[in-house]
Amino acid sequence: MTGGWGFKTYAILFIAFIYGPVLMLPLFSVNDSNFATFPLAGFTLRHYADLWTQRPILEALGNSVRIAAGVSVLATVVAMPAAIAVTRFRFAGKAPALAFMMLPLVVPSIVMAVALLVIVLRFLGIPLSLWTVAAGHVVVCLPFCLSVLVSRLEGFDASLEEASRDLGCAPMQTFWRLTFPLALPGIISSLLLGFIISFDEFVIAFFLTGTENTLPVYLYSQLRFPNSLPGTLALGSLILIASTLLVVLAEVIRRRGVTSDNPGDI
């Protein structure tokens, strides 16, 4: 490391800024008090123990996990061939098609939510359920899964696939024996990111869920009750820890075995 202490100090302050507020949740979740206030009263895990006795939390958790698992698989399965088309084929209209698939990034989620609400309720007459939430989540996840897969497919040489074809492999054979294993770290990380995005997504779930809650929707319903603050802090901390572990896992898997010249390609 060269150069001024100024930058280093700034970097440390920056990290403190992005982590500081979020770390208040685990801090107060183990504080032996019903309020999130200083001075700290003492260490306790009772707020965590209370969580396991609450059926609504466990049900919401189950719903979220089921949605996130289904969504991440579907988004990745759909994004994979699209990523191959983006990286391995040249054709007119590719850029607009790609732009179309990246669109969910720039449509505010509330607009996406009300648009889905309108078509589901007013045009199709389908009742809201976890299925409608899942449909919205697949589209939210798609740009992220696609980007991860595209960057992974660009990370290795396409001439390997050409060689495989020249040696007489059928396209599907080339895919399963060459592309798939080489892209596997990207696929796993796409699955994990899709899972996290869906698991943490709130706005679309809030608008499109029927009688059943996802975990963020349940959490939101509890935020307004001061009485349930300790439980909310404990539940929130668990969610934060789980997402952090999954993200770090996704990044570590994606980094394995790739030496890329692409800066920032992590």
Partner 1 sequence: MVEVADTAVRAGLSGPRHPADPARRREARAGYGLMSPALLLMVAVLALPLAALIVLSFWTQSGFTLDRTFTLANYWRLIAPSDREVEWMGLTFRLAYPVPAILIIKSLVMSLTATVAVILLAYPMAYFLAFRVHRNKAAWIILLTVPFWTSYLLRVFSWKVVLGYNGAINSGLMSLGIIDAPLEFLLYNPAAVTITLAHSWVSFIVLPIYVSLEKIDRSMLEAASDLGDSKWKRFRRITLPLSMPGTISAALLVFIPTVGDYVTPELVGGPGGTMIGSLVQQLFTKQNNAPLGAAVSLVMMLIIGAMVLIFLTLIGYWRMRARRAA
Among the candidate windows 44-52, 54-62, 162-170, 247-255, which touches partner 1 by CB under 8 A?
247-255
What residues contact 17, with CB distance under 8 A and at least 6 apart? Answer: none
- Is residue 41 within 8 A of residue 31, CB to CB? The reply is yes
Q: Does 170 bind partner 1 (CB under 8 A)?
A: no
> Which one, of 129, 127, 179, 141, lies nearest residue 157 by Cα?
179
Q: How far is the CB of 55 from partner 1 (least distance, A)?
A: 21
Q: Which of 70, 143, 230, 231 binds partner 1 (CB under 8 A)?
A: 143
Q: Does 158 bind partner 1 (CB under 8 A)?
A: no
**How many CA atoms lie less than 13 Å away from 90 in the CB half-sphere?**
0
Q: How far is the CB of 149 from partner 1 (least distance, A)?
A: 9
Q: Which of 70, 133, 136, 230 binds partner 1 (CB under 8 A)?
A: 136
DSSP annotation string for 7-61 = HHHHHHHHHHHHHHHHHHHHHHHTBSSSS--SSP--B--HHHHHHTT-HHHHHHH
Interactions with partner 1, residue window 173-192 (CB under 8 A): none
Interactions with partner 1, residue window 63-92 (CB under 8 A): 77-79, 81-82, 84-86, 89-92
> Which one, of 94, 176, 189, lies nearest residue 149 by Cα?
189
Q: Does 142 bind partner 1 (CB under 8 A)?
A: yes
Q: How far is the CB of 212 from partner 1 (least distance, A)?
A: 18
Spell out the SS3 assignment of 152-205. Answer: HHHCCCCHHHHHHHHCCCCHHHHHHHHHHHHHHHHHHHHHHHHHHHHHHCCHHH
**DSSP label at residue 92:** T
Q: Which of 46, 248, 256, 257 binds partner 1 (CB under 8 A)?
A: 248
Q: Does 247 bind partner 1 (CB under 8 A)?
A: yes
> Which one, of 84, 68, 34, 48, lies nearest residue 225 by Cα?
34
Q: How far is the CB of 265 from partner 1 (least distance, A)?
A: 7
Interactions with partner 1, residue window 96-125 (CB under 8 A): 96-112, 114-119, 122-123
Q: Which of 61, 68, 71, 150 binds partner 1 (CB under 8 A)?
A: 150
Among the candidate windows 33-41, 46-54, 55-63, 161-169, which touches partner 1 by CB under 8 A?
33-41
- Number of amino acids touching partner 1 (CB under 8 A): 102
